[in-house]
């Protein structure tokens, strides 16, 4: 069986020659690198499902299982829900466990396995209400248990009211899932609203119990759900509404940073942890009222608003008599070692956080400017060049759009790589390395930081090339030069991005005690979901 991890292995062919960049810059001026630009593995198979196409998408999977196992629709649905709609798991369990055991674990009993298929007589006793009923007023499930239709109906109504999508038999400790056709038929006669809700539950089970389908997290909601192929849970997708997100955690796309690190980063940036670090590093607590005090100059005697005097060096309460060098009757040689260690750690952590956060934010801000301001300028430049197509040797301007797309994607990779570095090379308790692998970390860190530095340098160069403005009639030599430089630099930044992803996947993540996974690198950004047609 294909495991969820199968899709996380990606290949990215890149030239490790140190002279690669120089060779690329010497390429022919018209080379757009379509043939030799390194590309990742195939895009993920992803579809956008709307309310209108939901039933068709669900029926597609149901029909596949019904045809495979020759079972009714409600049995196919029970199997799929039990296996979280993973058809590959059904294949695997069928092979390893056998048909009967697989059905039994999913609460399915097939008709051919029932000893008594018919009711014992024309008049039977309901074992819930203990009244007598004719055969026509009684329903029997595939497990062989039978009860009057009134009791079944009330059981179904109570189950729907409690939100159950799979209604099990009323028999004592019976795990069998009731035939959904019987449920719908009995509910429709007495509780039509409950019948409609049950129909909706069956549809929604495809979304809520399916590891391969998730709602688009857009706000306001676009009404679509995204379905990915088997084993492609760790991928980044773009809904037709334009929102790109991580399919695994439903957060904004964040590779090459794993979901766990990204979640911690968002909590850290939006929370109060760094505020606490700043307070510890830059303030002293008044020994009387315990409010934090900031010292902005002067000597080491500080007076709180409450009137308490204290020594800034150690935070201890003192009298007022003092000179510039000392405080009467007070000595700092009794300073508590643990207190100093705590303050030093807070200062170091704050400095380290600031280092990585600044770079994360700088590249994030640059991405926004290059998207919001450079993007429209690129579009105008394309129009100018396209208008001159018949009057010059300039054949097309698509290289501008491609280079701009490469710039935006590599800028995001660069920004997020600092989040990964903050946790990977820090001492956070939630990101631990195997003790036996710790000697390998500095080597892998050096490799990662070299790739990161090269990417940063070339991203800035590409941004500078794309920022070049043309006059009403651009000079053809200038355009050709910019085209060559832009396409060469686009190839270089894509290669560097691929190297960073490969370094993280192959060299760094294996060192962690708790496994983490990143989405595959896509030079064009998240995989675009196609509309699933009903």
Cβ(29)–Cβ(483) under 8 Å? yes
Minimal CA–CA distance to 265: which of 408, 414, 446, 431? Answer: 431
Our measurement of the distance from residue 18's CA atom to the centroid of its chain's CA atoms, rounded to an integer in Å, reads 34
Q: List, in order, residues 6 or more apart from 171 with CB less than 8 Å away.
A: 143, 145
- Residue count of the chain, please give it: 534
What gap in Å lies between CA 336 and CA 465, rounded to an integer? 57
Q: What does each C-alpha distance from 530 to 50, 406, 519 come to in angstroms?
A: 11, 22, 19
Q: Which residue is catalytic, options 129, 169, 178, 299?
A: 299
Question: Is 299 labeled as catalytic in the residue annotation?
Answer: yes
Q: What does each C-alpha distance from 186 to 157, 178, 225, 402, 406 come to in angstroms?
A: 10, 12, 31, 59, 59
Cβ(330)–Cβ(311) under 8 Å? yes
What gap in Å lies between CA 371 and CA 366, rounded to an integer? 8
State the DSSP code for 222.
Answer: -
Q: How many CA atoms lie within 13 A of 527 on its CB side?
A: 27
What gap in Å lies between CA 363 and CA 499, rounded to an integer? 19
Tokens encoding 171: 């028999």
H helices of 392-507, where?
Answer: 398-424, 441-466, 476-503
Minimal CA–CA distance to 47: which of 36, 34, 61, 62? Answer: 61
Which amino acids are annotated catalytic? 299
């Amino acid at each position: 069986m294909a495991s969820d991890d199968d899709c996380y292995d990606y290949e990215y062919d890149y030239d490790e020659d140190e002279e690669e960049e120089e060779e690329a810059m010497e390429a022919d001026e018209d080379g757009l690198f379509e043939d030799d630009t390194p590309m990742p593995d195939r895009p993920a198979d992803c579809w956008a499902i709307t309310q209108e196409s939901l039933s068709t998408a669900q029926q597609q999977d149901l029909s596949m299982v019904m045809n495979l196992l020759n079972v009714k629709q409600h049995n196919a649905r029970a199997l799929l829900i039990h296996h979280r709609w993973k058809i590959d798991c059904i294949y695997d369990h069928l092979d390893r466990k056998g048909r009967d055991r697989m059905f039994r674990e999913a609460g399915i009993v097939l008709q051919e396995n029932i000893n008594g298929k018919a009711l014992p007589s024309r008049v039977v006793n309901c074992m819930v209400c203990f009244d007598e009923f004719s055969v026509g007023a009684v329903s029997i499930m595939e497990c062989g248990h039978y009860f009057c239709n009134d009791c079944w109906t009330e059981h179904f109504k109570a189950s729907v009211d409690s939100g159950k999508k799979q209604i099990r038999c009323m028999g004592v400790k019976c795990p069998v899932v009731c035939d959904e056709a019987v449920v719908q038929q009995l509910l429709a006669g007495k509780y039509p609203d409950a019948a409609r809700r049950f129909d909706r539950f069956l549809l929604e089970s495809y979304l809520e119990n399916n590891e391969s389908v998730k709602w688009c997290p857009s706000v306001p909601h676009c009404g679509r759900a995204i379905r990915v192929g088997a084993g492609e849970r760790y991928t980044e997708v773009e809904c037709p509404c334009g929102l790109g997100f991580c399919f695994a955690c439903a957060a904004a796309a964040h590779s090459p940073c794993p979901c766990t690190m990204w979640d911690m980063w968002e909590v850290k940036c939006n929370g109060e942890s760094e505020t606490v670090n700043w307070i510890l590093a830059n303030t002293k607590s008044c020994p009387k009222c315990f409010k934090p005090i900031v010292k902005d100059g002067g000597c080491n005697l500080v007076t709180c608003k409450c009137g308490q005097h204290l020594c800034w060096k150690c935070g201890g309460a003192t009298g007022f008599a003092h000179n510039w060098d000392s405080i009467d009757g007070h000595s700092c040689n009794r300073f508590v070692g643990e207190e100093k260690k705590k303050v030093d750690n807070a200062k170091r952590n704050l400095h380290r956080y600031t280092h990585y956060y600044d770079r994360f934010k700088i590249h994030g801000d640059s991405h926004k400017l290059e998207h919001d301001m450079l993007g429209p300028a690129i579009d105008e430049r394309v129009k100018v060049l396209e208008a001159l197509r018949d009057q010059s040797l300039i054949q097309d301007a698509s290289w501008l759009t491609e280079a701009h797309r490469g710039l935006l994607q590599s800028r995001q990779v660069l920004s997020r790589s600092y989040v990964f570095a903050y946790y990977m090379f820090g001492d956070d308790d939630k990101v631990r390395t195997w003790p036996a692998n710790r000697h390998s970390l500095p080597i892998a860190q050096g490799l990662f930081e070299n790739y990161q530095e090269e990417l940063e340098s070339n991203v800035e160069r590409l941004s500078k090339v794309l920022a070049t403005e043309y006059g009403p009639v651009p000079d053809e030599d200038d355009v050709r030069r910019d085209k060559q430089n832009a396409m060469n630099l686009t190839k270089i930044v894509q290669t560097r991005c691929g190297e960073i992803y490969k370094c993280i996947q192959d060299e760094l993540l294996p060192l962690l005690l708790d496994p983490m996974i990143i989405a595959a690198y896509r030079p064009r950004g998240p995989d675009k979901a196609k509309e699933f047609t009903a």
